[in-house]
Amino acid sequence: MAALTGLVLLISAPFVVRGSDLGLLSMFNAPLMWVDRDAPARREFNEFIDLFGAHDLIVVTWEGCQVDDERLSTAADAVLDVQAERDATGKQRLVNNVFSGKTLLDTLTSMPIDLSRQAAIDRLNGVLVGQDDKTSCLVVELTEYGAVQRRETIPLLKETIAQSIGFAVDDLIATGPAIDGMAIDQESSRSIQQYSIPSILISLVLCYVCLRSVWLTIPIMAVGAWAQGFLLALIYYSGETMNAILIVLPALVFVLAVSVGIHLANYFLEEVDAGAGSDAPVRAIRKAAGPCTLAGITTAIGLASLGISDVEPIRQFGFLGALGTIVCVILLFLMLPGFMVIWLKVSSGRHAPKPRHQKPNPSDTSNPSSRWLSFASVAGGISRYSFVIRTLCITGMIVSGVGLVRLRTTIDVVSLLSEDNRAVEDFHWVEKNVGPLVPIEVVIYFADDSNVDPIDRLRIVAAVQHQISQIEVLEGTMSAVTFVPSFPRLTGLGSTIRKTVFLRQIEQSRDELIDSHFLAETKRGDAWRISARVKGQAHFDYGTFLDRLQTEVDFVLSKAEDAGYHGISSSSTGVLVLVYRIQKMLLSDLFFSFLTALGLVAIVMMMALRSILAGALAMLPNIFPTLVLFGVMGWAEHAIDIGTVMTASVALGIAVDGTFHFLKWFTQSLKAGASNETAITIAYERCGGALIQTTIICACGLMIYSFSGFLPVRHFSWILLMMLVTALFGDLVLLPALLAGKLGDILGRTGLPLIVDAADTDASSELPQ
């Protein structure tokens, strides 16, 4: 069977490698598309796009670019020429509109608007002109096709602009959602391309050092590496695209494969040490079948619980992670026994292998190091102070758990990339020198039967624009008011003439306002857009800001209603609103998926131990890592990102893995007549080493990802590393302390748990002599 399985993996390897490479090339990150199209926030945003045609923007500038710089007009003309060529050849449009501080300044200072230069600049401050009244930029508005095909669009536009003004492409300062998204694509792909092989090599060396057998190391590493490629290939062959959330999936599956493999190998080496001879593989698989299968099932449950998420990539992560876990467990059970047989044949001609450890003898005090460092000493200490340990750990869990209510999430684009990334540097430069980049859109609707005349409609839009501009974190606003002359004085001598002239100017500029995407005609009436900007990394509560925004808009509209106007309504949308919705979804996903996984795993634990109370107590070490680490992050007000949000459910599965193995040896020893303390010692001796080995190998393999320039991968590696260490503490400290008390007494009274083979109840050979 091992040979057949190995042959299948070998034959499928070319398809897996090709699929994984193409899967990485399909990388496309657009957080706005992660929300279901039927979600209210996404539906409002799509309606806004349909009305105003606004999509991703690219902001391009350079050092010394000022509002009067003729090169701004030259660059804009060059972009329009490229689009004209595409139109002439029937190619899809990439660009929807092009404008700059100079073009709008010229428009505002010319007839019919005819503003003074300073008045025009004041209208453009914080949007297209910096606070110094000089620095400006070029804005290219992309079509939906241009935004999706950004790998084609961005290099073409940057090269066109650079050539038109005589600059090198690298001298341009470019930012915007499309550029940020492409930077995320590149960094996330680079993370797995650069670090997956070093991670495997580090794990390979450590695995060999721990197992001291190339024949046991090869299948574990082969399954882990193949599973990584398999999941990437599956994404490609299923027609899906890779994204920033799925990028951490290969590293996770590799960790799970190594964990299961190390435990299987240690069961085998235990049997070899016990003198099982040629029966060692069969006995090892028989003993490992219960705990490893249950561990695989519970890990898959933890991952599958992410399927309740409203964020599509997280649902994909949960499904693929669960599938990868099950595949790894099956492959290891199919492959490792054959390699165990090979190991026995290769070792048969040599002297008997030296036992990897001696049976614990609590009475042996001749060696001080054994007294203080051996598993027997640790077990004795934990048994003696079990009440103190239980009290401290449970208290720590409660205190940390309170911090969960302070957790917050972030998916700010610039928070996903390291500060030395060029996209982040350009983003900060533009925000500092020109204006904020994160848009918030307010739309004021006037129904067909509204009694508000065109002048008063503009006045209401102007009043809303002025009112929301008073919000501290909001900088730079534009609306149709920006592109019309100043309001005339409508009282006194000549007011009728002035009003008539102004009405005519509004009617004449209506088509221009529609073309500038600040006015739209709908079936239910006119929609007037007010576009505002917020700094990308401004530290404030999005929910509070959006509530304040709606309050200010409602205040103006209520005054209009009090004045006798009717048929007026409003809505707010934009990237900021969707980001806020997604962040709330991430936090709720973290909570509900963990609760779902916790409930399902607890049921499995209770069934395995055949006791509701024992199962509930045995779950404490498994929720320990999540409560402590996420609680501490909450107390520290450390925002969790997309690379962190999945680790809670993942950690639950990993922690349960060690719990099942420890309980297997403990309960088996109890049935053989051992006391609680002796059973704890045997459990330490039999699986403590495997748990420590698994943690060391997986932690060191993950450490390499901490150098990634893609922060979710970096954070995922650190959080999962800390989860592994904390889970080890829970399994080797908290769990034994529980077993020394009530949990151990319950297990001593229950029947043979499912994690113990009924044929293996004769464990007298496992007791200390």
| DSSP assignment of 70-106 | HHHHHHHHHHHHHHHHHHHTTPPP-EEEEEEHHHHHH
Cα separation, 170 vs 432, in Å, equals: 19
Q: Which of 566, 596, 623 is the last residue of a domain?
A: 566
Q: Percentage of the chain surpassing pLDDT 90?
A: 29
What residues form DSSP beta bridges with 519?
528
Phi and psi of 172, rounded to 5°? -75, 150
Same domain, 112 and 253: no
Q: What is the pLDDT of residues 293-352, one digit of tens each?
A: 888 888 888 888 888 877 788 888 889 989 999 999 999 999 999 999 988 888 764 444
Instruction: Encode 281-301: b = buried (16+ Cβ within 10 Å), e = exposed.
Output: bebbbebbebbbbbbbbbbbb
Give burial (CB, 10 Å; 0-12/13-18/19+) of 320.
buried
Q: What is the mean pLDDT of the chain?
A: 84
Cα separation, 731 vs 378, in Å, equals: 13
Same domain, 90 and 226: no
Cα separation, 522 vs 276, in Å, equals: 81
User: In this predicted structure, what is the pLDDT of residue 371?
Assistant: 35
Q: What is the pLDDT of residues 265-301, one digit of tens each?
A: 988 988 888 888 888 999 989 888 888 888 888 888 8
Same domain, 624 and 703: yes
User: In this predicted structure, what is the pLDDT of residue 731?
Assistant: 92
- Domain count across the chain: 3
Q: At residue 412, does pLDDT exceed 80?
A: no
Q: At residue 369, does pLDDT exceed 70?
A: no
pTM of the model: 0.79
Same domain, 497 and 622: no
The residues, ordered by sequence, that sit 6+ positions from 201 with a Cβ below 8 Å of its Cβ are none
Nearest to 448 by CA among 290, 567, 548: 567
Nearest to 117 by CA among 70, 434, 511, 125: 125
Cα separation, 404 vs 116, in Å, equals: 55
Same domain, 216 and 326: yes
Q: What share of the chain is helix, strand, coil (3-state, %, to 5)?
A: 70, 10, 25
Q: What is the pLDDT of residues 10-56, one digit of tens each?
A: 888 889 888 888 888 888 877 667 777 777 777 888 888 888 876 67
Half-sphere exposure at residue 286, Cβ-oriented, CA atoms within 13 angstroms: 12
Q: Is residue 199 part of a domain?
A: yes
Token readout for 512 is 């221009």
> What single-letter amino acid sits at 9?
L
User: In this predicted structure, what is the pLDDT of residue 41?
Assistant: 75
User: In this predicted structure, what is the pLDDT of residue 514?
Assistant: 87
User: In this predicted structure, what is the pLDDT of residue 308?
Assistant: 81
Q: Please, are residues 232 and 304 in contact by the beta-carbon 8 Å criterion? A: no
Q: Which of 566, 589, 605 is the last residue of a domain?
A: 566
Provide the pLDDT confidence category of residue 354 given band limits of 50, 70 and 90: very low
User: In this predicted structure, what is the pLDDT of residue 352?
Assistant: 45
Residue 467's domain comprises 450-566
Same domain, 310 and 330: yes
Nearest to 421 by CA among 175, 719, 251: 175
Q: At residue 66, does pLDDT exceed 90?
A: yes
Cα separation, 52 vs 244, in Å, equals: 29
Cα separation, 738 vs 666, in Å, equals: 12
3-state secondary structure of 47: helix
User: In this predicted structure, what is the pLDDT of residue 757?
Assistant: 60
Provide the pLDDT confidence category of residue 762 given band limits of 50, 70 and 90: very low
Q: What is the pLDDT of residues 75-101, one digit of tens each?
A: 999 999 999 999 999 999 999 889 899
The mean per-residue pLDDT over the stretch 490-503 comes to 72
Q: How far are the Cα atoms of 279, 414, 658 from residue 331, in angstroms, in the given order?
A: 21, 40, 20
> What single-letter amino acid sits at 127?
V
Same domain, 165 and 240: no
Same domain, 702 and 740: yes
Cα separation, 160 vs 530, in Å, equals: 31
What residues form DSSP beta bridges with 346?
none
Q: Which of 176-190, 212-226, 244-258, 398-412 has the highest mean pLDDT?
A: 212-226
Q: Is residue 409 part of a domain?
A: yes
Q: What is the pLDDT of residues 660-714, one digit of tens each?
A: 889 888 988 888 888 888 999 999 988 888 889 888 988 888 888 888 888 888 8
Q: Is residue 40 part of a domain?
A: no
Instruction: Encode 708-733: b = buried (16+ Cβ within 10 Å), e = exposed.
Output: bbbbbbbbbbbbbbbbbebbbbbbbb
Cα separation, 408 vs 570, in Å, equals: 29
What residues form DSSP beta bridges with 135?
66
Strand residue runs (E) in 643-727: none
Half-sphere exposure at residue 416, Cβ-oriented, CA atoms within 13 angstroms: 26
3-state secondary structure of 136: strand
Q: What is the pLDDT of residues 586-601, one digit of tens each?
A: 777 778 888 888 888 8
Same domain, 171 and 188: no
Q: What is the pLDDT of residues 213-226, one digit of tens each?
A: 899 999 999 999 99
The residue whose two tokens read 């099932």 is: 297
Q: Is residue 519 part of a domain?
A: yes
Provide the pLDDT confidence category of residue 361 given band limits of 50, 70 and 90: very low
Q: Element (H or E) spanning 530, and its range?
A: strand 525-534
Q: Is residue 443 part of a domain?
A: no
User: Got the DSSP string for 602-661?
Assistant: HHHHHHHHT-HHHHHHHTHHHHHHHHHHHHHHHHTTPPB-TTTTTHHHHHHHHHHHHHHH
Phi and psi of 57, rounded to 5°? -110, 150
Token readout for 295 is 């561990």
Q: Element (H or E) spanning 392, and its range?
A: helix 386-402
Which letter does DSSP use for residue 574 in this model? S
Task: For residue 190, give the CATH number of its domain.
Answer: 1.20.1640.10
Q: Is residue 16 part of a domain?
A: no
Q: Which of 175, 193, 226 is the last residue of a domain?
A: 175
Bond from prior residue into 768 cis (ω within 30 degrees of 0): no
Q: Please, are residues 371 and 380 in contact by the beta-carbon 8 Å criterion? A: no
3-state secondary structure of 10: helix
Cα separation, 609 vs 621, in Å, equals: 15
Provide the pLDDT confidence category of residue 515 given band limits of 50, 70 and 90: confident
Q: Is residue 3 part of a domain?
A: no
Q: Is residue 17 part of a domain?
A: no
Same domain, 276 and 393: yes
Same domain, 111 and 186: no
User: In this predicted structure, what is the pLDDT of residue 157?
Assistant: 95
Taking the CA atoms of 211, 215, 221 and 224 in sequence, report the sign of the dihedral they define.
negative
Cα separation, 696 vs 698, in Å, equals: 6
Same domain, 477 and 408: no
